Amino acid sequence: MSSNDTKVLGFIVGESYPYKFTFVAYRPVSVGEYVTVEVKSDGKKRKILALVENSSIKSSILASVSNYHAASEGTRVAEKNERDKSYHAVTRVLGYIDELARGKVTIPSIPPAPGSSVYEASSDDLRVFTVDDYRWVRIGTLLRNSNVIVSVNIDRVASRHLALLSVTGGGKSNLLALIAKRVAEKNGTMLIFDYHGEYSNLQIKNINHVVARVNPRFLNDPDELADLLEVRENASVQRDVLARAFTDDVRGAEDFWGELRARIDNIRDAEEGKGSKRNPQVIRAAERLQSIIDTAERRLGSLFDTSTRNPLDMLRANRINVLDMVEFSERQANVAIAYYLEELLEDRKRAVRIKKSRESSDERIRFPTPVLCAIEEAHVFLPNSIDGYEDTRYIAGKIAREGRKFGLSLIIVSQRPRRLDPDVLSQMGSLAILRLTNPEDQRYINEASEIVSRELLEYLPSLNVGEAILVGQWVNIPSIVKIDEVKEKRVGEDISAVDEWDEAYRSTNVARESTDELIEID
């Protein structure tokens, strides 16, 4: 190779298309590398940028061996033959570089010609990843070029939704914390439904930690109350009695629980009064409900707050609101998330309506500006099966479809994408996919979302912790990125049982020794 063409990485071979081509290189090429090719457009030479989505190395001699001995001999002779190995790379065309730099994606109408030289993208070429605009924020650096900063468009997240998908421990919560940090820097409003307490120690600008509370008075559906009280799903008679007792009078009563109990007693007494026509199941259900309410009041007292006017009162606009839901069971969390989302949607609808009418209004608006809502464990609350929880899925589906009109968007976070509601997933305009090993997850994402190619999905198991593929509307260009670490977030790491046992044992022994000393003194 002469010194003049040291940057020529390879040549396009086979069939090329406007959106993809294959090239043969002089060295192995990494998935995630960016390359450029010159093409002619309207008589002018223009550069296109392409992402390497698949890479392979083939040894012609070792391709045909079938046993250990032949492989050993083949390896030795292949070492002498520099032509024995061929390095192929499949790329996706991202668009003309000059247009990408202006945030516009234009795919050439004519494919690059086979035989065209392929070059490694220079630092100048890669500046397209670093958008200098106040709507864009830094998210990390290019995985294959740590000098290149990658930025994402927060406006697009706030209007077109985002999904963060990864196996457990792949770096989802760090990425969500980073997005929260960047939103806080823009004085934005965000609500994180923190089901596992992952963000309880997050200390960033504008943070507002809140323990989730539900005021049962504001529940629309008696089934939601039954779920919160953990009445079994198939206990239909108990649910029916509760629905009859959960009247508007109860909702408005000063002593909510006392009034609810009284109503249930009334139903029980009325049934007793029917003499031989009474239904013993109703009587037993009423008695069981009393016992459930007693237990719930004792055990779940902290979750219920009958004095709160509205659940949104605890949340703050222009803050990162972390809603601690650690004490909620899945069923309770499902009701609570739905409850908050519904209230938020109504609030945002009012805000938009008033803003549009340009007239003053007495209606109270809690969130006058757009809100981002992050749902952890989204596969639990937005399941693809009709047997799963319905409340959150229903309202989240509605927000996914209509939220952008009202400035309310979702960030769904999941480690099991295949269990996510496909309708909701397909509405996610942007994706951050970290390490994913299950082929079913990859296939499911490919089917539900058109913005990720099969070649990129095949690369997902190779990603390390904190590495992600960013695609969709929040990036100009599909990017394979090393996500910045959020130092302000220390949780999300597993508890060290050994350390904690050791510490407890030491402190117990210290206590015993000091007690022994006292006894000796006595």
Partner 1 sequence: MLFELYESALKRRDEIIRMIKGNTDKIREAEDRWNEYEPKYKESRLVGVDSSFNYKSYKGFYLYALAGVAVTSDDRYYKEPIARLDFEKPKGNGNGISIRNLLLLRCMDVEYELIKDNRDSIGIDIDNILIDGSILARLYDRRFMRDRGKEIFLKYKSILRDDRRVIFVAKNSDSNTILGGNLADIYYFSRASTKAGYVYEYGSLDGEDITVAYVRLKPCTPVIKLEISGKKDDDEMKYIMDRLATESVSGYPYVLRLAHERCKIRDEDMDRIEDIFGLGIEEGSREVLEE
Contact 424, 393 (CB under 8 A): yes
Q: Which is nearer to partner 1, 74 or 216 (CB)?
A: 74
Residue 499 is a binding residue for partner 1 (CB under 8 A): no
Q: CB 24 → partner 1: shortest distance, Å? A: 15
Residue with the two structure tokens 């690059």: 112
Six token digits for residue 143: 């995985």
Residue 277 is a binding residue for partner 1 (CB under 8 A): no
Q: Which is nearer to partner 1, 77 or 326 (CB)?
A: 77
Residue 83 is a binding residue for partner 1 (CB under 8 A): yes
Residue 82 is a binding residue for partner 1 (CB under 8 A): yes
DSSP string for residues in 380-419: HHSBSSTTS--HHHHHHHHHHHHHHHHTEEEEEEES-GGG
For residues 338-358, one letter each, b for 16 or more C-beta atoms within 10 angstroms of the residue's C-beta and e for the rest, the string is bbbbbbbbebbebbbeeeeee
Give the C-alpha separation, 333 to 345, whole Å: 18
Region label for 18, one of left (φ > 0), alpha (ψ between -120 and 50) or beta (otherwise): alpha
Six token digits for residue 394: 């229903």
Q: CB 83 → partner 1: shortest distance, Å? A: 4
Residue 80 is a binding residue for partner 1 (CB under 8 A): yes
Picking from 181, 150, 216, 168, the residue whose alpha carbon sits closest to that of residue 474 is: 150
Among 74, 370, 403, 472, binds partner 1 (CB under 8 A): 74
For residue 258, CA distances in Å to 5, 292, 320 come to 85, 14, 36
Contact 171, 413 (CB under 8 A): no
Q: CB 80 → partner 1: shortest distance, Å? A: 5
Q: Which is nearer to partner 1, 73 or 516 (CB)?
A: 73
Q: DSSP letter at 218?
A: G
Q: Which is nearer to partner 1, 81 or 508 (CB)?
A: 81
Q: CB 450 → partner 1: shortest distance, Å? A: 35
Residue 84 is a binding residue for partner 1 (CB under 8 A): yes
Query: Which secondary-structure segment (H or E) carries 431?
Result: strand 430-433
Among 73, 269, 485, 503, binds partner 1 (CB under 8 A): 73
Q: Which is nearer to partner 1, 73 or 346 (CB)?
A: 73
Which stretch, 66-74, 194-202, 316-324, 474-482, contacts partner 1 (CB under 8 A)?
A: 66-74
Q: Which is nearer to partner 1, 79 or 133 (CB)?
A: 79
Q: CB 99 → partner 1: shortest distance, Å? A: 37
Residue 516 is a binding residue for partner 1 (CB under 8 A): no
Six token digits for residue 243: 């629905």
Which stretch, 82-90, 139-147, 180-188, 377-385, contacts partner 1 (CB under 8 A)?
A: 82-90
Give the footprint of partner 1 on residues 25-64 (CB under 8 A): 60-61
Q: DSSP letter at 111?
A: P
- Angle at the Cα of 451 from the Cα atoms of 10 and 188, rounded to 5 degrees: 115
Q: Which is nearer to partner 1, 73 or 503 (CB)?
A: 73
Q: Which is nearer to partner 1, 81 or 361 (CB)?
A: 81
CA dihedral 119, 123, 124, 128 (to 10 degrees): 100
Question: Which stretches of the chain bind partner 1, using CB under 8 A?
Answer: 60-61, 65, 67, 69-70, 73-74, 77, 80-84
